[in-house]
């Protein structure tokens, strides 16, 4: 049969607006979370991380919120710019000592000028 490609959810925002990208994770043992940005033709680029003993962490124009109760992670981008257009991935690591990250499927952010 015909194969179906991975459908990425898309968030479209106006330049200057704030963006919120959400991610749900399933592993209760996850204790470390990272947001990556991937531009077309490039590798994922680290944006911000957060450990499970925190519920909020801020960077430059970005904030990550962690809600362990509902296993939810969000990335907030303030004053979104055209250069923010990319696919954003959340990744999690379990507290089992295993180094490997598990990546979400990604969200495409489109910034309209």
Residue ranges binding another protein (CB under 8 A): 3-6, 32, 34, 36, 42-46, 49, 51, 89, 93, 97-103, 105-106
Residue 69 near residue 11 (C-beta atoms within 8 A): no
For another protein, give the closer residue by CB, 56 or 98. Answer: 98
Phi–psi pair at 84, nearest 5 degrees: -80, -10
Least separation in angstroms between residue 13's CB and another protein is 23
Residue 54 near residue 66 (C-beta atoms within 8 A): yes
For another protein, give the closer residue by CB, 25 or 93. Answer: 93
For another protein, give the closer residue by CB, 40 or 69. Answer: 40
Nearest-angstrom CA–CA distance, 84 and 96: 33
Least separation in angstroms between residue 96's CB and another protein is 11
Least separation in angstroms between residue 111's CB and another protein is 22
Tokens of residue 30, six digits: 């996850």
Write the CA distances from 53 to 3, 6, 63, 64, 75, integer angstroms: 41, 33, 16, 13, 17
For another protein, give the closer residue by CB, 2 or 69. Answer: 2
Least separation in angstroms between residue 41's CB and another protein is 8
């Amino acid at each position: 049969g015909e194969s179906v490609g991975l459908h990425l959810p898309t968030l479209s925002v106006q330049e200057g607006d704030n963006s919120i990208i959400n991610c749900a994770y399933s592993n209760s043992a996850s204790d470390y979370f990272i947001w990556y940005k991937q531009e077309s033709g490039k590798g994922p680029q680290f944006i911000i991380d957060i450990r499970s003993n925190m519920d909020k962490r801020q960077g430059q124009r970005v904030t990550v919120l962690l809600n362990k109760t509902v296993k939810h992670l969000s990335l907030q981008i303030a004053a979104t710019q055209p250069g923010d257009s990319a696919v954003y991935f959340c990744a999690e690591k379990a507290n089992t000592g295993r180094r490997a990250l598990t990546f979400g499927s990604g969200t495409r952010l489109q910034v309209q000028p």
